[in-house]
């Protein structure tokens, strides 16, 4: 995750939430998160556009972020 955060610097905001916290639990319920770890990529409107449970696939995340940024240019 740390490497992905560095690659996304200046492109996207990375927010880590603990599902056991109040805010993390609310976000997990809203986004339908049931497994840990889960990465949810949301667009500028707050809609989930990518969901990865378990092992992180950084290339998929970077490609989707680039796609979203290109669509907004």
Where do runs of H (alpha helix) occur along 1-73? Answer: 2-8, 22-31, 58-71
Tokens of 35: 């497994």
- Chain segment 19-58, per-residue pLDDT in tens: 999 999 999 999 999 999 999 999 989 999 999 999 999 9
Q: Is residue 2 pLDDT above 90, yes or no?
A: no
- In the chain, the domains with their CATH numbers are 2-71 (3.40.30.10)
28/24 Cα distance (integer angstroms): 6
E-only strand ranges, 1-73: 38-42, 48-53
**The model scores a pTM over 0.85:** yes
Q: How buried is residue 55: exposed, middle or buried, by Cβ count under 10 Å (0-12/13-18/19+)? A: exposed
Q: Is residue 73 pLDDT above 80, yes or no?
A: no
pLDDT of residue 29: 96
pLDDT of residue 58: 94
């Amino acid at each position: 995750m740390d490497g992905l955060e560095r690659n996304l610097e200046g492109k996207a905001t990375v927010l880590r939430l603990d599902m056991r916290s109040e805010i993390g639990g609310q976000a997990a319920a809203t986004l339908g998160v049931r497994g840990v770890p889960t990465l949810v990529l949301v667009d500028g409107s707050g809609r989930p556009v990518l969901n990865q449970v378990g092992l992180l696939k950084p290339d998929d995340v970077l490609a989707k972020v680039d796609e979203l940024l290109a669509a907004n240019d």
